[in-house]
Amino acid sequence: MTNDHSNSDDHRRILEERISAQLGRRALLKGVASGLVAAGAASFFPDIASAQQSGHIRIAAIKHIDTLDPHFTFFLSAVQIINNIHNGLLKVTYDGQNVRFEPDLAASWDLEDDRTHLFKLHSNVTFHDGTPCDAEAVKFSLLRVKQGKPVSPHAWKLELLQDVEVVDPLTVRLRFSRPYAFLPVALTGSTGRAGTIVSPAAVAKYGMDYGRNPVGTGPFKFVSWKDNNSIELEANPDYFEKGMPKLQRASFVLIDEASTALAALVSGQIDGMTDCPMQLVNQVKKIPNLSLYGEIEGNYTYVGMNNKSAPFNDINLRRAVAFAIDRDAIIKQAYFGLAKQAFSPISPPMTGYYDPDIANTDRGHRFDLAKAKEFRAKAENQGEIEVTYIMAERGPVGTRVAQVVAPMLSQIGIKVKLELLEPAAWVQRMKDGNFQMLDFDWVADLDPEETIFPEFKTGGSWNYWGWASPEFDRLCIEAQTVIDVPKRAELYRKAEDILMSEAPVAMLAHMPIYKVFSKKVQGFNYIPCDLVNLHGVSKV
């Protein structure tokens, strides 16, 4: 745990060093500690400057979208749209090498000490309903996440937030109970979601139907959501970032079949795809009028097991599953040779936390059939075990993982029945805990805390597996406030080792995530956390 410091300059220095070191090449802007973010400052000036908007982009939305309420969505597929409607206090940017966290609605960000953050907002920013985006709106949004009813699944990100003080109409001070290394991620309006600012008036008007009537400050206004058809957006002519947006309209066409979407893209009916599944990548590379964007991102995939009931309340059976899966075969057959084996949840982009030599250690999950059979021999049920593996045509690999895993488990006496569900039904079964096995993925993780803690902490809203370990919880909580990166990394490795040993899930792979656009689409800025930002996009 960190100690208090009496000198405010030390506070600023320590917090900057901790966050910068923690994020490695994903470092926070160096100017933050002095209260002035210099990089790209001109683009953040609060002058309202309308762009010359023209053109209509049509993008196939491939994955399931649950809600357009940023404080309640579980899916990055929804965030891809939400991020064009809303802004956060901070945003994620990428220069082709480094991911950074920069002010968005905030004009400046000052660290008064290691627990107190002062944000000054841009002036004259309004929500799409015409109401002001001011300090009161920021306070409303943060408290909606932290303590609203019903409980936001992102409330854990603001658990350490002690007080939100409205200093003046454009200044808000956030006090935390302890130093908080995850804060730059939490306060983004995209992947973090806890820092996304919503219209208080719209929430009051629509209540829990806000997710179908979102009102933000972003470059595009929400127009309509027609089930099984499209989500329509139009330009916000009063957007505060100079020269944006460039497009007049944006349609997210709901197409759940990737090959159908690709055919529509090739024929010119649409202009892009929010996701290009790996089985289509080689085909797309051969089409001259298409541009492919993507690389291995901060993510991991796994086979999840319901730890609350038989048969997977048996730790030895879960361990047997973890070592019975041939990851090389999974990567070749399900991920088309494009993914990288995951021995644990922490992924390669997390510099300082990912162990590049992990394959040569005994840490984590890997294929070892002899070890799998040893654990199977220790399981309570020594007869053939029948389980149902629910699957859906969702995500980048669809049903392929399940189809490859099933025969592997037969080698350890587990007979797998595959049950295909509609994506929405599959999601509901997972949330309700009404399953035995399924495969899942967490994407766009920018820090170890979001990589393992909400998914596996005792009683966590994303802990669908029902696994619990007080020692795992303790290690993750301690890691939240440790300054030294190697020491923080060691805490996460100890937590991971507990997780991998008890195997509530069986780790599989780290994936590349792809987007594809027509070459008529200009100005798309790829950000390696599954975003589809249309802010500066135009169409020729």
Model confidence, pTM = 0.78
> DSSP characters for 293-350?
EEEE-S-EEEEEE-TTSTTTT-HHHHHHHHHH--HHHHHHHTSTT-SEE-SSS--TTS
How crowded is residue 245: how many other Cβ atoms within 10 Å of its Cβ? 27
Round to whole Å and give the CA distance between 280 and 301: 19
- Same topology, domains 56-289+519-539 and 297-513? Answer is no
**Percent of the chain clearing pLDDT 90 (strictly above):** 78
Q: Can you give the pLDDT at residue 351?
A: 80
Q: Does the structure show a pLDDT above 70 at 519?
A: yes
Q: Give residue-wise pLDDT tens across range 186-221.
A: 999 998 999 999 999 999 999 999 999 999 999 999
Interstrand relation of 249-254 and 230-235 (parallel, antiparallel or unpaired): antiparallel
Cis bond before residue 70 (omega within 30° of 0): no
Secondary structure of 86-123 as H, E, C letters: CEECEEEEECCCCEEEEECCEEEEEEEECCEEEEEECC
Q: Please state the domain extents for the chain.
A: 56-289+519-539, 297-513
The kind and range of the H/E element at 142 are helix 135-147
pLDDT band at 15 (very low <50, low <70, confident <90, very high): very low
Kindly tell me the sign of the dihedral angle through the C-alpha atoms of 345, 193, 155, 182.
Answer: positive
- The larger pLDDT score, comparing residue 414 to residue 8, is at 414
**CA-wise closest residue to 449 among 439, 462, 438, 437:** 462
Q: Can you give the pLDDT at residue 395?
A: 64
* Max avg pLDDT among 300-314, 338-352, 476-490: 300-314
Q: Give residue-wise pLDDT tens across range 222-240.
A: 999 999 999 999 999 999 9
- Amino acid 440 reads F
**CA-wise closest residue to 138 among 105, 91, 160, 103:** 105
Q: Does the structure show a pLDDT above 70 at 182?
A: yes
Q: Can you give the pLDDT at residue 396?
A: 66
Look at 93-102, 176-185, 430-439, 447-456 and tell me which has the smallest mean pLDDT.
93-102
Cis bond before residue 237 (omega within 30° of 0): no
Residue 517 tokens, joined = 């656009």
Q: Does the structure show a pLDDT above 60 at 151?
A: yes
- The correct answer on CATH 3.40.50.2300 for the domain covering 56-289+519-539 is no
Q: Does the structure show a pLDDT above 70 at 51?
A: no
Q: Can you give the pLDDT at residue 23?
A: 36
Round to whole Å and give the CA distance between 140 and 202: 12
Q: Give residue-wise pLDDT tens across range 383-406.
A: 999 999 999 977 667 799 999 999
Q: Does the structure show a pLDDT above 60 at 13?
A: no
Q: Give residue-wise pLDDT tens across range 360-386.
A: 999 999 999 999 999 999 999 999 999
Q: Can you give the pLDDT at residue 367?
A: 98
Residues in the chain: 540
Over residues 53-69, the mean pLDDT reads 94
Round to whole Å and give the CA distance between 195 and 197: 6
Kindly tell me the sign of the dihedral angle through the C-alpha atoms of 38, 39, 44, 49.
Answer: positive
Protein fold of 297-513: Dipeptide-binding Protein; domain 3 (3.10.105)
Q: Can you give the pLDDT at residue 273?
A: 98
Which CA distances in Å does 127 have to 132, 137, 214, 215, 269? Answer: 6, 10, 10, 7, 32
pLDDT band at 26 (very low <50, low <70, confident <90, very high): very low
User: Virtual CA dihedral for 538, 59, 89, 158, nearest 10 degrees?
Assistant: -170
Over residues 270-275, the mean pLDDT reads 97
